[in-house]
Structure 1
């Protein structure tokens, strides 16, 4: 891992990092590229921001300065890694561009037999995509799903390249690129996630699939919020809201937009707007059991208590937050299928409440359990919540149990 990887995994932009360190953005850029090493006077603060010790920071600096692996004749990315994803995305864009040109030149030559074959192909991919979403939801370690998703993306590209038009297959691509983005986001590869979500939105728009398109925009907003860019997220979600209104009103897309808008408003410190958005999200409970498909659209209202609790944590309304989060744990205990990722996030939020109250016992009890689930699930999403917790517990570090928890979170962050 390089300095750049570490910085991005924690959601810092170059501008934000530069501001916190009191240097120019171009200086952070030179550190990222390994052109210069951080001067000694900046290293303690840099290590603190990156949640590592000075020894680990030194290793990150050396890794940043090392030549790319590919220069020595070894592969520059491991199997099904971010380089593989980038190649698949480029191939998809190439195929779409070629298909568009061919369709314009020979639309009259595309007969009904070819169109039927393409629809049949699309149906097969959609069925497989649906299965992969289920596998993703059930997988304890999300990264274990990456190879089969990459293989499915490669197969989709091959099928696209063989077709004179790509309309029906675009919906399958919009679906599958969202799953690829989820895997990247959970693995803290936020640039890859954003690129996949952008392609998903473009493919969904091409297919005229408004709900699918809106969901891609919602997921892209999560990437912005992970970087602390709440204003940008509000803008994306405003577009998602307009797109969703053109979709199927019996689906929960509009309510999911509202739930994520609540997070963006909370991050911006807007309590009234946040609560209004949460109230709008609760209307999902009026839609019935078929408001989602369990794949690219999974919002069913079952997470409303934990969502409300997490938003109140952001806004500092601790009593309201604790009541909602405690309810969330009781409603969906792990033994009844509550995912490791979801439960880990709720526990991390409860630990954060303890930190804000200066209650070391609450921090240790909930934080330790969240850390265990983060390790067992390899979830970057839970790890990010724990990193946020680590920033909160500084004043409690005099308690040896809290100090040990902080050290373990730091160690998790470097693996």
Structure 2
């Protein structure tokens, strides 16, 4: 039975706090303070220094206040049979108590899981450096919670949250051309996925590394990683579709046209049964718009003019008008894909205009600048007068 910490309660009152005001000062719920005082819960290690400061006591004094008072020793009747200190029934009850004891709580985990979703949704329209700061803060919080007392189920959920955060962090590092950090984050995500048996995260790890290899020009390695991701991914899930799309892009860069067309068909088949979700911006949830966008890119990379129609469709669906501030990144990429398709038809002036829109939108992340550079080089080679302005805009973007 938990022992009420009357000394802790007296110290809180002596410091001038009600349970409500103390909870507010500690940034916790009032019920958490109540459980501290009844002995039902222990404050987390990182909370103790602040507790001592608010109560105006030392750390040792706080430890003493939090220590349970020993219960009186029961008197054994002379005729009672002696009992062992650890009989089977008590051991079983204590094990259940320990399994169910937690300083984390499901509410905290639900909020963390919701925060992961919010960041994955914000990803297409948030500057990478800004999003990275949020990811780091949440990973730090997860690391602290791993040291706290929790149930086995809560521990499992916490590792999964850490896996998704590490994966998203790696993606942002790739956007910022921070290869070493990206590889470290991916390694962490893969380790956490292995500990939890989470194949969806494992597949996304390989797909994300495939994209990193693709942006670095290592197309054969990207193809192999995409196929590994496909083999791991749960059937019909977002990771499986994304891996197939990444495979198609790698095949396109390798010049394997027939296989690239087959990959496009596979993606369209897998995504064909999907409905458009309420929040299609979520980076780890596939939707029909993404299938159209990846088709546009793959066709553009193999020099098929049909990419024009798909790219224009993405711009129509997601462009939201002429204000680039409303664009997700896919619209900037679609303008570049459209430019590549227009180059195939010799329409250099139109290609120049769409790439200029992408460059000046602020939606081209560092890892994607090479795609714009391909159009800049082609327009310059074509001797278009507007190439000078396009080059200047590109160089200005590269400085940011």
Q: TM-score range by the shorter chain?
A: 0.5 to 0.7
User: Match for residue 319 of structure 2?
Assistant: 333
Q: How many angstroms apart in 1 are the aligned matches of 2:386 and 2:277?
A: 46
Structure 1 SS opposite 2:142? helix
Greater relative contact order (Cα < 8 A, sep 6+): 1
Q: Is the 8 A contact 1:178 1:296 kept in 2?
A: no
User: Match for residue 369 of structure 2?
Assistant: 383
Structure 2 SS opposite 1:377? coil
Q: Is the 8 A contact 1:262 1:275 kept in 2?
A: yes
Structure 1 residues 347 and 402: alpha-carbon distance in aligned structure 2, compared to 1, 3 A threshold = same
Q: Is the 8 A contact 1:352 1:392 kept in 2?
A: no
Structure 1 residues 271 and 135: alpha-carbon distance in aligned structure 2, compared to 1, 3 A threshold = same
Gaps of at least 5 residues in structure 1 are 1-107
Gaps of at least 5 residues in structure 2 are 1-94
Q: How many angstroms apart in 2 are the aligned matches of 1:170 and 1:296?
A: 20
Pair member with larger Rg: 2
Q: How many angstroms apart in 2 are the aligned matches of 1:310 and 1:321?
A: 7
User: Match for residue 227 of structure 1?
Assistant: 216
1:263 aligns with 2:249: yes
User: Match for residue 335 of structure 2?
Assistant: 347
User: Match for residue 200 of structure 1?
Assistant: 189
Alignment: residue pair count: 300
Structure 1 residues 388 and 194: alpha-carbon distance in aligned structure 2, compared to 1, 3 A threshold = farther
Q: CA deviation at 1:266?
A: 0.8
1:216 aligns with 2:205: yes
CA displacement, residues 297-327 of structure 1 (integer Å, 9 cap, x when unaligned): 221121222321211121122x212222223
Q: Is the 8 A contact 1:142 1:183 kept in 2?
A: yes
Structure 1 SS opposite 2:386? helix
1:281 aligns with 2:267: yes
Q: Is the 8 A contact 1:182 1:193 kept in 2?
A: yes
Q: Is the 8 A contact 1:341 1:382 kept in 2?
A: no
Q: How many angstroms apart in 2 are the aligned matches of 1:324 and 1:210?
A: 31
Q: Is the 8 A contact 1:185 1:193 kept in 2?
A: yes
1:313 aligns with 2:332: no
Superposed counterparts of 1:4-403, under 5 Å:
111-114=98-101, 117=104, 121-139=108-126, 141-163=127-149, 166-244=155-233, 247=234, 249=235, 251-282=237-268, 283-288=270-275, 295=282, 297-317=284-304, 319-335=305-321, 339-373=327-361, 376-377=362-363, 379-396=365-382, 398-403=383-388
Give the root-mean-square deviation of aligned CA atoms. 2.9
Q: More helix per residue: 1 or 2? A: 1
Structure 1 residues 323 and 232: alpha-carbon distance in aligned structure 2, compared to 1, 3 A threshold = same
Q: Is the 8 A contact 1:258 1:281 kept in 2?
A: yes
Structure 1 residues 261 and 116: alpha-carbon distance in aligned structure 2, compared to 1, 3 A threshold = farther
Q: How many angstroms apart in 2 are the aligned matches of 1:120 and 1:315?
A: 49
Q: CA deviation at 1:119?
A: 5.9
Q: How many angstroms apart in 1 are the aligned matches of 2:391 and 2:291?
A: 29
Structure 1 residues 386 and 200: alpha-carbon distance in aligned structure 2, compared to 1, 3 A threshold = same
User: Match for residue 390 of structure 2?
Assistant: 405
Q: How many angstroms apart in 2 are the aligned matches of 1:399 and 1:288?
A: 43
